[in-house]
A and B are shown apart, each in its own frame.
Chain A
């Protein structure tokens, strides 16, 4: 059976309903696509047999009229999400051979609604990176230009959707790790409000920043996935008890909103000219849709990246202490005593970027520098959060480009971490302040590389974000 490329679950469910396709047919199609695109290095494990078996089960349930809301959705999960009985290793050698013994809440919830997990996806080691070059499984390639990076850290998850290897992916976003690769690959990436989705089963990078988020082709699929994944969870005490709105139904909302855009995003020399131009066009489109669009300033922008790197590395240095070669994962065969067991296992098991961030974070927390770095950064985070909240007193949404450049070449920035970190300049604010943000495709640059447009909302205002992003996307799609 030949299967066309679907852009949303609703298209698939229509075809399922009229018998034009089956879940088994869909899974077979995606398995073939995965096979044809091995060179993109997207999946680190494919669950072919299991996915086919699940497809038959879902097909049977559809016959009985008992299928879940996500029946027909074939998804991939980033290699930082626990799925019981399956390997998970955060793109790291230190978790060589590790098998998860429980399932992440977010993953369980989509499975319970009959989504089919087809495999686990390559990413930057421990979600640390903006190019997917920091993986023990090797770099992922951008399907738009295989010499270029897909962005990171959820690079595999973005390319999987871009190249049609599955309908949607679950990624994680600590500083832009869902939105930046979505922008580089021309797909939709949603980072929910911090604590909107349970982190149970998400391998931690920086606990107070980490968010699980969907990567999709359509805004409506992002809304649907968020609706299914969000909400209280007995395994995560930090998750919000706020009611979960019917995000999918709320996509129809169409009230005029006040949208502010960061001047830097359309004026700064540091942003590619094509991206500035496309951003202006998107803002014009929003105005045409009836929204108020005004420039805003955010003077703290220059402090966002340093704050982010001090706090995330501090948390990471502690979160990654459990990988010590004692209980599971990689243990150096060269260890001779306890100290060398730790040193060798961790030196050999972690890659350069992870080691760099552990060292930075350990330094930031060390007694002599604690107040100068960790305490100061916590204070600045509070200022950024307050200033962001103040922005949302005047505006419903804040618009920016997702990235200052389009996808760069593999290897181009690998030797310059600071240059690499700048790729996240527009995305990290949402993580530092804990608010939701979405990246929607916004055309391409003159070389044909995808550009992303970002909208950010006040905490728990995902519904506004999704409805505006959805209309923007529809409008863009009309001429195409």
Chain B
């Protein structure tokens, strides 16, 4: 361990986010994940001769949102450049990207994380830039087969690439940065942030150097991590590997290495004979994209609230405790749901309790992303209001009504309570009638009671409960029977 202590890692992250536009960045084909192969394609996506790209302005808007959230400088005169290279999943033989005029320059992402020593640190991770580009298609290699299958559905999907400065110094910090980026893109509604499906991807550039050394070591790029945890694992593995190489006098090769989640190791790809020369030049097929002051103001005005603002609103406006506010503002969807419930009930704390309790217990990560909550907000508000009015208890509502409502979402909460006879009957007159009925039906027992056999009270209460089909408030029933028998 002492050896490791001598070194520090220098990390820069490149995060690609697929933008949630309805159509592709330069074509009108659907930008949808999970379709049959080669169904979301067109002559533009396939690079047929004579086709021209046409920019989807929505993609620019979403990129600018991210830039504004990160306090980047927005580039108002944007050019797209061609990045030229051959690959079968790249239909035109070049990728449309931004080279000299990234849409967002600079900026930062604030992170809070616990370092290996357990100390909580706060830091703003500096961004180099964010640029727009198109995704490539997918090459699919089936095990044991020589053929390559090509699916161009993904080709032309809008991406932003967020590039940090080389300022990250630990796996924990990288993980915290990614967690925050994922939360931001979800809050901004620009990307679903799903690393497993590849809608959010992270490449790590990592080098090591002796602590106190100014010069940077040789940089290695690590790819193929499908979760934040794996990014952290890859960083730690690669840190050790590079130090070991240095300590044993082996050279670090500037290369791209693939992370293997099964082994936790990184392995070099075939060493490139020469560096790629992408021959960037401005794409003459696209006119420059000018983000006017008006357009920028419009995008700014349409910005969804950021996590911090939401957190503060939960404290100040809804009066939630910090713990509740932090938990609910962790996901935009949850905060949205909370606020929707609160439009129909004034009991904000109850809404928070319900959400942190029964609702969250029944909501998977996927449900959350798709905003598929066990109950629609209005139903949950009905339940809260029913409890508040004393007609059902919280335990009845959460244990007996909640599961039924999930099964029968078309019914109102009150309807379910009535059908299940869960409404507490607190109407004294109707209850009194039942009490009279019961006492009249058991004259002998009434006599015995009056003679002192007080244990019979339970029998009368039970009979009233039976007649009320369980809806009678037991406490009130008890009182009424005692009163009647005392006469």
Residues of chain A at the chain B interface (Cβ within 8 Å): 80-82, 88, 90, 95, 98, 100-102, 104, 199-204, 206-208, 234-238, 314-315, 317-318, 320-324, 326-328, 338, 342, 362, 365-367, 370, 374
Contacts and interface: CB of A to CB of B under 8 A. Distances in A.
Contacts of B279: 317-318, 362, 365-367, 370
Q: Chain A CB within 10 Å — which of B92, B94, B284 has the most?
A: B284
A101 B54 contact: no
Interface string B49-80: 11111110000000000000000000000000
A100 B92 CA distance: 16
Q: Chain A CB within 10 Å — which of B46, B49, B88 has the most?
A: B49
Summarize A's interface: helix, strand, loop or mixed.
Answer: loop
Contacts of A100: 48, 50
A55 to B, nearest CB: 27
Contacts of A366: 277, 279
Interface in B1-59: 43, 46-55
Contacts of B91: 322, 327
A320 B94 CA distance: 10
B295 interface: no
A204 B286 CA distance: 13
Nearest to B87: A338
Contacts of A199: 52, 285
A390 to B, nearest CB: 24
B50 A318 contact: no
B49 A326 contact: no
29 contacts: A82-B49, A101-B43, A102-B51, A201-B50, A203-B50, A204-B50, A235-B52, A236-B52, A236-B54, A237-B52, A237-B286, A238-B52, A238-B286, A315-B284, A317-B279, A318-B82, A320-B93, A321-B84, A321-B92, A321-B94, A322-B91, A323-B49, A324-B88, A324-B93, A326-B88, A326-B150, A338-B88, A366-B279, A367-B279
B86 interface: yes
B287 interface: yes
Interface in B79-136: 82, 84, 86, 88, 91-94
Interface of B: 43, 46-55, 82, 84, 86, 88, 91-94, 148, 150, 277, 279, 281, 283-287
B93 A321 contact: yes
Closest 7 pairs (CB-CB, A-B): A321-B93, A208-B284, A207-B284, A365-B279, A203-B49, A322-B47, A82-B50
Given A101-B48, A365-B279, A366-B279, A322 B93 contact: yes
B49 A374 contact: no
A328 B91 CA distance: 10
A422 to B, nearest CB: 25
A197 to B, nearest CB: 13
Q: Chain B CB within 10 Å — which of A202, A314, A367 has the most?
A: A367
Given A204-B49, A374-B281, 9 more contacts: A104-B50, A202-B50, A204-B50, A236-B52, A237-B54, A238-B284, A318-B94, A321-B92, A338-B148
Contacts of B148: 338
B330 to A, nearest CB: 41
A202 B52 CA distance: 9
A234 B54 contact: yes
Given A318-B93, A318-B94, A327 B47 contact: yes
